[in-house]
Chain A
Amino acid sequence: MSEFNPNIPIYIQIMNSIKQEIVSGSLKPGDKLSSVRERAETLSVNPNTVQRAYQELERESVSETRRGMGTFIVEKETLISDLKSEMAQAVMKTFIEGMRGLGFRDDAIKQAIDRELDGGQTT
């Protein structure tokens, strides 16, 4: 379990890393995803797990399977921005929950963000 977080299902972690690749540009809309088996071998995970990740991506309309050819990233103009905002939202949610857990109220959270962005001086 070296590269994987034990608290999150592996298939979700795989999905996230693929989404990350799309957002960062290493995977472009229309690109073919490596086969289930190849990815399973590279990551040293069960092919079933990769299969599930691919199926979920398809369900989320991030990818599509073309019969006899493989799985491809959908050619949607808004794909990258959609994913970006979806992933950003997840990051923000975790951040806000964390800050609230520390006792910060919403105003204080906004101030902390500004300070951090200005030069990293928090009290």
Chain B
Amino acid sequence: MSVILETSKLKKNFYAKHALRGIDLKLENGRILGLMGPNGSGKTTFLKIIAGLQKSSGGTFTVNGKPAGYETKKTVSFLPDKNTLYPWMSSMDAIDFYADFFEDFDRNKAIDMLSFMKLEKTDKVKAMSKGMIEKLNLTLAFSRRASLFLLDEPLGGVDPVSRERIVSTIIKTWTEDSAIIISTHLVNDVEQIFNDVAFIDDGELILTGDAEALRIERGKSIDQLYLEIFANR
């Protein structure tokens, strides 16, 4: 059992707004964590800090024991909720781009995944639908042999069939040595792949735990639990 991600009192302030109020989280290898909360609760901010796009205002975190920085970027794969590829790129261009920049990128895996996702190598990003871009970005993020995968709303704006493919890909990519954090609203579609869950509201973790244990303890699905928790806040 090794700890892939550990955060200690992680804080983030945007001028007066407290986006994160001291998050303590521990994620072990082989685990998939579901990070759930309403819009503006801090999910994306949290993931961006771990990915290196934002800097924390306080607290620390380590990935595989290493503090945030150049080293951690090598082992963290971030899938943002918006498209970050250049419009003129084709799927193949995007793969080449990633291959250039990330040592741990597996080209062959990416090409295989492209066909699994039913994407053509020559399609250009500007001609792709939202769902196709999401699938391409997922392909790129998951073709890296990273220690930590951060997926920010990977299922948003995607049709149900594609959603299934994405969930399938997540399971396929899962390895014993890595950990995955998925932030999502569409809890119902993915809750059975979560090992751990964390509910966040207004920058604070209000409930964390083992998904199975919580289901039995509360006698309801995580989806229902989410409704219960957030309906009254």
Do A and B contact each other directly (Cβ–Cβ < 8 Å)? yes
**A-to-B contact residues, CB < 8 Å:** 1-2, 4, 6-11, 37, 40-41, 43-49
Once the chains are docked, how many angstroms separate the CA of A44 from the CA of B194? 10
B171 x A44 contact (CB < 8 A): yes
Q: Mark B140-159, 1 if CB is under 8 A from A, else 0.
A: 00000000000000000000
**B79-87, B97-105, B212-220 - interface stretch:** B212-220
A-contacting residues, B212-233, CB 8 Å: 212, 215-216, 219-224
- With A40-B171, A47-B171 as known contacts, state yes or no: A9 contacts B219, CB within 8 Å: no
Once the chains are docked, how many angstroms separate the CA of A10 from the CA of B219? 13
- Judge if B93 is at the interface, Cβ distance under 8 Å: no
A48 x B30 contact (CB < 8 A): yes
- With A1-B191, A46-B194 as known contacts, state yes or no: A6 contacts B215, CB within 8 Å: yes
A44 x B220 contact (CB < 8 A): no
Residues of B within 8 A of A47 (CB): 171, 174
Where chain B touches its partner, the secondary structure class is helix
Task: With both chains docked as a complex, state the minimum distance between the C-beta of A5 and any C-beta of chain B, in angstroms.
Answer: 9
Residues of A within 8 A of B220 (CB): 6-7
B32 x A44 contact (CB < 8 A): no
Residues of B within 8 A of A4 (CB): 192
- With A7-B216, A9-B215 as known contacts, state yes or no: A41 contacts B191, CB within 8 Å: no
Size of the B side of the interface (Cβ < 8 Å), in residues, is 24
Once the chains are docked, how many angstroms separate the CA of A41 from the CA of B172? 7
Which 3 A-B pairs have CB atoms at the shortest separation, nearest pair first? A6-B221, A1-B221, A45-B192
**B-to-A contact residues, CB < 8 Å:** 30-32, 164, 167-168, 171-172, 174, 188, 191-195, 212, 215-216, 219-224
Q: Which of A6, A37, A41, A43 has the most CB of B within 10 A?
A: A6
A46 x B171 contact (CB < 8 A): yes
> Taking CB as reference atom, which chain A residue is nearest B193?
A46
Q: Which of B32, B212, B223 has the most CB of A within 10 A?
A: B212
Residues of B within 8 A of A8 (CB): 216
Once the chains are docked, how many angstroms separate the CA of A4 from the CA of B212? 12
Residues of B within 8 A of A40 (CB): 171, 174
Among A1, A10, A41, A44, contact of B223 (Cβ-Cβ < 8 Å): A1
Residues of A within 8 A of B188 (CB): 1-2
Among B172, B195, B216, contact of A37 (Cβ-Cβ < 8 Å): B172
> Taking CB as reference atom, which chain A residue is nearest B168?
A41
Among B171, B194, B221, contact of A41 (Cβ-Cβ < 8 Å): B171
B192 x A44 contact (CB < 8 A): yes
Task: With both chains docked as a complex, state the minimum distance between the C-beta of B154 and any C-beta of chain A, in angstroms.
Answer: 14
